[in-house]
Amino acid sequence: MTGGNMGVDNKFPGKDLSEDDLQNKIPLVAKKRPDHRTTFECAGIEFGGKLVPVMAGPNTVENEELIVKTAIGVKKAGAHFLRGGAFKPLTFPYRSPKFFEPREDGLKWLQVAKQETGLPIVTEVMEITKIEVVAKYADMLQIGTRNMQNYPLLTEVGKTGMPVMLKRGFGNSLRDWLMAAEYIALEHDKLRQPAKIVLCERGVVAPHTHRATSRFLIDLQVIPAAQEATHLPIMSDPSHATFWQPWVKSMMLASIAAGADGLMLEVHPDPVNAAVDPLQCSSLEQFDDIMKACRPVAEAIGRTVDA
């Protein structure tokens, strides 16, 4: 029994998962019984349990002052992880003072923020040659949407044995996503450890996104669909999905209600002046309001956002 009756018994590659896929192509990430769920700890925070961990912080670690201020604010409001990109997959290559990659400096500023607040760090690693330096500072390694199918990167990240957040490719099916997760799970298995992977839905390309600036649509349906097929926890990132801050709160609440095992959102102390993606980030005050709204929704379904 692997994940219940998926309906289609498809011997050929398709867009949706088949029983054959679950049994033979993703044996490590497929559920083995209906109540099979992985839980793992990262920096003392449990994933896959009752807690819905919240990861908050700016798109880019712009400078030390900004990340420390953000960390203090999000910690006070109840975040469990500090997020922020030091190595950035920027959509176009022309850098300016407002559009840049802080690289190892950004990692050092994240470390200062961690020392100030105790918040663990989740940050993106984009290429194999940077795994070593990112792993020195990060508690969880983030694989971004654009790298979901970068199989050599997945393998090398897996070899570190560190907890990994695997974002969904914005054009990828659940089938593609779980097959990518299997690459990391395979390396964790070789290290004789359970898979420490959390999936993260961050919006997919769709014909209608309801605003000219919105590039993606959040696929909340993938949360129960993933939970039907895999024992890995799955989280949701409404900031990248909506690309529009006024929609973030409702999609945070809806993600919890849909069963998300974690949440990520972009928070910046001064959203209008955020170096990257100012339309999608929440202020510290908005984040506090969102957290307050999340509490009763989580409780209503037997979860909590309070560690």
Binding footprint of ligand PEP on the chain (CB under 6 A):
59, 85, 89, 144-145, 167, 202, 240
- Binds 144, which of ligand PEP, Mn ion, none (CB < 5 to 8 A, cut-off by type)? ligand PEP
| Nearest to Mn ion of 59, 172 (CB atom) | 59
User: x/- site string to Mn ion, residues 172 to 191, per CB under 5 A?
Assistant: --------------------
Interacting positions 15-74 with Mn ion (CB under 5 A)? 59
| Nearest to ligand PEP of 117, 236 (CB atom) | 236
**Sign of dihedral through CA atoms 284, 286, 292, 293?**
negative
- Binds 202, which of ligand PEP, Mn ion, none (CB < 5 to 8 A, cut-off by type)? ligand PEP
**The one-letter amino acid at 71:** A
Cα–Cα distance for residue pair 274/271, rounded to 1 Å: 5
Q: How far is the CB of 236 from ligand PEP (least distance, A)?
A: 11
Estimate the crossing angle of helix 222-229 against helix 248-258, to 10 degrees: 30
Q: How far is the CB of 14 from ligand PEP (least distance, A)?
A: 25
Cα–Cα distance for residue pair 97/110, rounded to 1 Å: 19
DSSP for 208-268, written as a single string:
--SSTT---B--TTHHHHHHHHBSS-EEE-HHHHH--GGGHHHHHHHHHHHT-S-EEEEB-
Q: How far is the CB of 145 from ligand PEP (least distance, A)?
A: 4
Q: How far is the CB of 240 from Mn ion (least distance, A)?
A: 6
User: x/- site string to Mn ion, residues 103 to 122, per CB under 5 A?
Assistant: --------------------
Helix and strand numbers, DSSP H then E, in the chain: 10, 10
| Nearest to Mn ion of 91, 250 (CB atom) | 91
Using Cβ positions, the residue closest to Mn ion within the complex turns out to be: 59
**Sign of dihedral through CA atoms 216, 207, 227, 306?**
positive
| Nearest to ligand PEP of 52, 204 (CB atom) | 204
**The one-letter amino acid at 165:** M
Q: How far is the CB of 30 from ligand PEP (least distance, A)?
A: 24
Cα end-to-end span (Å), the chain: 34
| Nearest to ligand PEP of 29, 143 (CB atom) | 143
Query: Are 233 and 47 spatial neighbours (Cβ–Cβ below 8 Å)?
Result: yes
Q: How far is the CB of 129 from ligand PEP (least distance, A)?
A: 19
Q: How far is the CB of 197 from ligand PEP (least distance, A)?
A: 16
Query: Are 160 and 131 spatial neighbours (Cβ–Cβ below 8 Å)?
Result: yes
| Nearest to ligand PEP of 58, 78 (CB atom) | 58
**The one-letter amino acid at 162:** M
Using Cβ positions, the residue closest to ligand PEP within the complex turns out to be: 144
Instruction: Give the count of beta carbons closer than 10 Å to the beta carbon of residue 176.
Output: 15
Question: What DSSP designation does 13 have?
Answer: -
| Nearest to Mn ion of 59, 70 (CB atom) | 59
Cα–Cα distance for residue pair 13/102, rounded to 1 Å: 41
- Binds 227, which of Mn ion, ligand PEP, none (CB < 5 to 8 A, cut-off by type)? none
Q: How far is the CB of 94 from ligand PEP (least distance, A)?
A: 18
- Binds 38, which of Mn ion, ligand PEP, none (CB < 5 to 8 A, cut-off by type)? none
Q: Give the footprint of Mn ion on this chain (CB under 5 A).
A: 59
